Amino acid sequence: MCGRFTLTVDPAELQDAFGDYIFPDQFAPRFNIAPSQPVLAIPNNGKNTADFFMWGLIPSWSKDPSIANKLINARGETIAEKPSFRGGFKYKRCLILTDGFYEWKAVQGEKTKTPYFIHMKDRKPFAFAGLWDEWQSPDGGALRTCTIITTEPNELMSTLHNRMPVILDSADYSQWLDPAPRTPESLLPLIRSFPADRMSAYPVSTMVNSPGNDRAECVLPV
């Protein structure tokens, strides 16, 4: 699964990495983004503009918004079949912007798992494959939410966990963000493990275990 990630770069760096898209003029760096919090994402609505979505999908047809707590991730292997995800996979896809994420490794003989920070070797920002939706609350308010798609781990991630987020290659952004409905057959080839040789990981402090700790020390190696 993917349960925590970061977006620490400034808007200018993000613009350099994603030149074809429009970003907010400013936003605070985030070192420990957790479910139910806002995340910066680009939806496939044809505007190529990033905005903030709540992490944890609430399908538009859901009567209970607490379902978001169970839908922070979507398994890529069943995404075209599960009722919560198949509509979004066809119609509502997004890029979820990040520059790193955390995973916890079980260590034999230790009660506490060791958190690791995973990032690109070139330290540039990248994008998770995501789905989004818009939910209407009973009082008429609209809430836009999203989920991160996961897949089998690559060689690096398999040493830490049995799942990893789907990281899209920049060449696939336009296909993923196509506003037109897409068939599963055209999109499933994008649901794959990212090359391990382009990624790196190192252990960090257990301070990241608490979502209340959102500061630069979270990503420092230990």
Task: Give the residue carrying structure tokens 């008429």.
Answer: 140
What order of strands is seen across the sheet that includes strand 100-105?
A: 30-33, 5-7, 100-105, 114-120, 199-203
Q: Among the options 94, 103, 146, 218, which is catalytic?
A: 103
DSSP, residue by residue, 51-113: EEEEES---TT-S-GGGGGG-SEEEGGGTTT-TTTHHHHHH-EEEEEESEEEEEE--TT-SSP
Active site residue 103: yes
Phi, psi of 56, rounded to the nearest 5 degrees = 130, 105
Active site residue 217: no
Q: Could you give the CA distance from residue 38 to residue 218 in angstroms, rounded to a whole number? A: 19
Evaluate whether 147 touches 187 at the Cβ level (below 8 Å).
no
Question: 85-88, long-range: CB within 8 Å, 24+ apart, which pairs?
Answer: 85/57, 85/131, 85/147, 87/59, 87/133, 88/57, 88/59, 88/131, 88/132, 88/133, 88/147
Q: Among the options 2, 94, 146, 218, which is catalytic?
A: 2
Catalytic residues, which ones?
A: 2, 103
